[in-house]
Structure 1
Amino acid sequence: MGISADHIRKLHKYEIRILVALERLMKRYQWVPLDILTRTVRLSESEVSYRLGRLMDWGMVRYDTVPYEGYTLIFSGYDTIALISLTRKGTVSALGCMIGEGKEALVYEGLGLGPVALKFHHVGQRSFQSARVTREYLPEQGHCPWIFASGYSAEREYQALQRLQPAVSVPLPIDHNRHVVVMELISGATLNRCRLSEPRVVLDAILENVRKSYEAGIIHSDLSEFNVMVDGDEQVYLIDWPQWIDPAHPNAEEILARDVDNIIRYFDRKYRISYALQDAMALVMR
C-alpha cells in the first residue's frame, strides 16, 4: 500500500501516539503485545484496540498471532511518522506523486522551500535476510527490525551526500528523518533509459565523478547504469549511496573495479565505446 496523504491528515493524535510507541517498543519486541502497548501510551485497552483497528485498515500496522499475539509497524506506518516529523520541522509542506521505485526504496516528489525528492528507504522489503548479507552496516545477529535497518540505510546515504557535496555531482541533501532522505529534485532519467547524443562525454563525466568521490573517501559500491541520472543537457548525477564503503575497506579496490567495470561495459554494449578497465582504474585512482 502506498503513502496516503489523506490518511495522514485524518490521523487522530492517539493514533500518532500509538505509531510512535510501536516504533520505540519494536527495539525490544518483534511483535508488541497489546498490554505493553496500552501501558506505554496510557490509554484504555478499548481505545487502543479501536485506534489499532483504524491503523490496520489503513495499512500502517499489522497484527499476528505467531510466534505470539502482537502488533508491528509496516512500511506505510513508518513512512507516516517520518513524514509527520519532517512536516513539523518545516522541511516538507506537501507530498506529490511517486516518481521512482526500486527494490529497496520509493521516491516521491514533494515541496519544501522548493521542489524536493523524498527517498523512503525500505530495506528488506523483498528479502530482509539477503539485505542483511549485502549490507555490512547491518548487525549479523540479534534483533534488527526492518524499520531500523531502513533508518541506518537512510542515515548512511545522507552522510555520503553531505560529504560528497559540492565536489561530486550528486543531489543536494536537505534533511533526513528515520528512513527518509529529503534531497534536491533532479530532472532527467537514469542512464539506462537515455539515448545519449555524446556518450563519450558522459562516460568521461561519470568516471571523473567516481574519481572525485574516491578522493573524498567514498566508494559507491553499487554503481551501474541504474543509479546514474542524466538530465536534458546530459549533466550527470550519481545517485543511491547507502552501500558506500571507505577506501580503507579490505576489498575496496576490488569493489571500486566492479563499479567502474559496470559502467564501461554498459557503454561498450550500448554505444560501442571501448575503455580498458586498467586505464579507467588508473584515471579513478590517480
Structure 2
Amino acid sequence: MPVPAEYVQSLHPYELRILLALERLMRRYTWVPFEILKSATGFSESELTYRLGRLINMDMVRYEKTPYDGYALIFDGYDTLALHTLTKRGTIQALGTRIGVGKESEVYEAMGLGVVVLKFHRVGQRSFQAVRLKRGYMPDTGHCPWIFASSNSAKMEYEALTALHPAVSVPLPIDQNRHVVVMSFIPGVNLTQATLTEPGPILDAILDNISEAYGLGIIHGDLSEFNVMVDQEGQCWLIDWPQWVETAHPNADEILARDIRNILQYFKRKYGIDYAFDEALARVVE
C-alpha cells in the first residue's frame, strides 16, 4: 500500500530534503553512501542520522552495509514524493481505498476535482530482466533502480493516454508525477467480471478502438480481456497502456496480431463468437 497519509502530512522539511537527495543520488548509486548524502543535504552527522532513523521507521528508506553505510529510497518514500508533489499542484486532496492491483501496479481512488484514480506503477525486481528485454522504456545498459523503471512506465502510459484521448475510449489523463498517473474514474468493471447480454457490440467497439489507436500510430502491446472495462450501458474502455508501441515499431505487425487474437479468443471462449482473425485485422488497419 502507499505510505499512510499521516506520514506524508507529518513529514519534516528536512526529511523531504533527504528523500529528494536520495532520489537524485540513486541515479548514480544503488546504495547512497552516508558521507555523500551528508554533503548533498548539508546536515550535521547527528541531524542526518536522526532524520534517516525516522524515515527508516516509516519504511521510506532502507539501510544496508554494502560494506559501507548506504541508504536507498524505497517505494513508500517514492510514493511520498509523488503524493507530496500532486498535492502541492492541487491535483489531489485525499487518497482513498485501493480498487485494483496488478503484477506491476496498484490503483487507488482519490479526491481531486471530484473522484479520480491514481495508478502507482511498480515495476518489480523479479520481472526486471524480462522488462529490460521487452519494453521500450528501459535502458539497455546502466544503473536503473526499480523506482526509476516505474517512473518510466508511468510516463509511457501518460504519453499514450494524452495522445489517444478523446479519439479512443481511454481514461482521461489528468496528471503524472514520478511513478503515479492520475486519470479519470471509469464507472465500470473489468471485462472478466462482466457477463454481457449482448457481447457482439462490445467486441465491435473494442476492435473500433484498436483501429482508432492504430490510426493515431499507437498499438496497445498488452491487450487482453484484463485490460478492457465495460459499464452497464455497453460503453467500453481500453486501459493499461505502459507497453504501447508505435505502428512503425519493427515488431508492430506481430504485436498488433497478438492483441487482436487475445480479444477474439476471449469472446470465442466465453461467448462462442467466432470472428475471423483476418476480418478483424482488416477492420483494424483499414
TM-score normalised over the length of structure 1: 0.97
Letter in 1 for 2:152: Y
Give the aligned partner of residue 163 of structure 2: 163
Q: Does 1:39 align with 2:39?
A: yes
Q: Does 1:284 align with 2:284?
A: yes
Cα shift at 1:116: 0.5
Cα shift at 1:68: 4.0
Counterparts of 1:215-254 in structure 2 under 5 Å?
A: 215-254=215-254
Give the aligned partner of residue 26 of structure 1: 26
Q: Give RMSD over aligned pairs.
A: 1.1
Give the aligned partner of residue 118 of structure 2: 118
Measured in 1, the distance between the counterparts of 2:122 and 2:68 equals: 25
Task: Report the more deviating stretch, 80-89 or 186-195.
Answer: 186-195
Letter in 2 for 1:18: I
Give the aligned partner of residue 103 of structure 1: 103
Cα shift at 1:141: 1.1
Cα shift at 1:57: 1.3
Q: Does 1:274 align with 2:274?
A: yes
Give the aligned partner of residue 184 of structure 2: 184
Letter in 1 for 2:277: L
Give the aligned partner of residue 58 of structure 1: 58
Measured in 1, the distance between the counterparts of 2:81 and 2:108 equals: 16
Measured in 2, the distance between the counterparts of 1:67 and 1:155 equals: 35
Report if aligned partners of 1:22, 1:32 keep a CA contact under 8 Å in 2.
yes
Name the SS for the 2:91 alignment partner: coil
Q: Does 1:92 align with 2:92?
A: yes
Letter in 1 for 2:269: R
Letter in 2 for 1:37: L
Name the SS for the 1:196 alignment partner: coil
Cα shift at 1:167: 0.5
Measured in 2, the distance between the counterparts of 1:255 and 1:67 equals: 45
Cα shift at 1:147: 1.5
Structure 1 unmatched runs, 5+? none
Q: CA 1:237–1:13 in structure 2 vs 1: closer, same or farther (change >3 Å)?
A: same
Name the SS for the 1:8 alignment partner: helix
Cα shift at 1:2: 3.6
Give the aligned partner of residue 205 of structure 2: 205
Report if aligned partners of 1:154, 1:178 keep a CA contact under 8 Å in 2.
yes
Letter in 2 for 1:194: A
- 1:194-235 per-residue CA deviation (whole Å, 9 max, x = no partner) reads 111111111110000000000011000000011101122221
Cα shift at 1:136: 2.4
Letter in 2 for 1:269: R
Q: Does 1:5 align with 2:5?
A: yes
Give the aligned partner of residue 257 of structure 1: 257
Structure 2 unmatched runs, 5+? none
When the two structures are aligned, how many residues end up with a matched partner?
286
Letter in 1 for 2:216: A
Structure 1 runs of 4+ aligned residues shifted over 3 Å read none
Identical positions, percent: 61
Measured in 2, the distance between the counterparts of 1:159 and 1:187 equals: 22
Name the SS for the 1:111 alignment partner: strand
Letter in 2 for 1:45: E
Report if aligned partners of 2:56, 2:62 keep a CA contact under 8 Å in 1.
yes
- 1:107-146 per-residue CA deviation (whole Å, 9 max, x = no partner) reads 1111111110011111125432222122122111111111
- 1:150-172 per-residue CA deviation (whole Å, 9 max, x = no partner) reads 11111111111011011100000
Name the SS for the 1:91 alignment partner: coil
Measured in 1, the distance between the counterparts of 2:130 and 2:198 equals: 38
Name the SS for the 2:85 alignment partner: helix
